[in-house]
């Protein structure tokens, strides 16, 4: 059983569409991070959110941390083929991060 559940597991969309990826848990986390991973590479940090209700925007990406600090979402506007990859959420637990299983995003041109 994953401590952090990500949905959907796989998403295939056309260029220009919007999408949202969810990261849910029954546990409270001190922080929530989102990473993007491409084949053959390690995950790359996109954002860290630490305050319940926090919203951060990075260009076309919007990240939200739930009020109770148990869930998070990643919204991508006008997706591009370069957004293709594995998106991982990770929650802070003590001195380490607990990762979700990831969402594979494929954006077709």
How far apart are CB 6 and other proteins at their closest, in Å? 8
Pick the binder of other proteins from 8, 18, 50, 58 (CB under 8 A).
50
47 versus 107: smaller Cβ distance to other proteins: 47
Pick the binder of other proteins from 1, 14, 26, 96 (CB under 8 A).
96
Cα 104-12-88 angle, rounded to 5 deg: 20
Pick the binder of other proteins from 1, 4, 69, 84 (CB under 8 A).
4
Q: Note whether 24 and 103 are within 8 A (CB).
A: no
Number of CB atoms found within 10 A of residue 88's CB? 24
39 lies in the binding site for other proteins (CB under 8 A): no
72 lies in the binding site for other proteins (CB under 8 A): no
78 lies in the binding site for other proteins (CB under 8 A): no
Longest dimension (CA), the chain: 42
How far is Cα 72 from Cα 69, in angstroms, rounded to an integer?
A: 8
**Residues, the chain, total?**
109
């Amino acid at each position: 059983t994953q401590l952090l559940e990500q949905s959907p597991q796989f998403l295939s969309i056309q260029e220009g569409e919007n999408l949202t990826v969810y990261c849910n848990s029954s546990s409270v986390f001190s922080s929530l991070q989102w990473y993007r991973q491409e084949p053959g590479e390690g995950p790359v940090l996109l954002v860290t959110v630490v305050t319940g209700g926090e919203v951060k925007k990075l260009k076309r990406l919007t990240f939200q941390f739930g009020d109770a600090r148990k869930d998070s979402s990643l919204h991508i506007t006008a997706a591009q083929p370069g957004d293709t990859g594995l998106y991982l959420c990770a929650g802070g637990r003590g001195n380490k991060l607990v990762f979700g299983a990831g969402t594979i995003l494929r954006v077709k041109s």
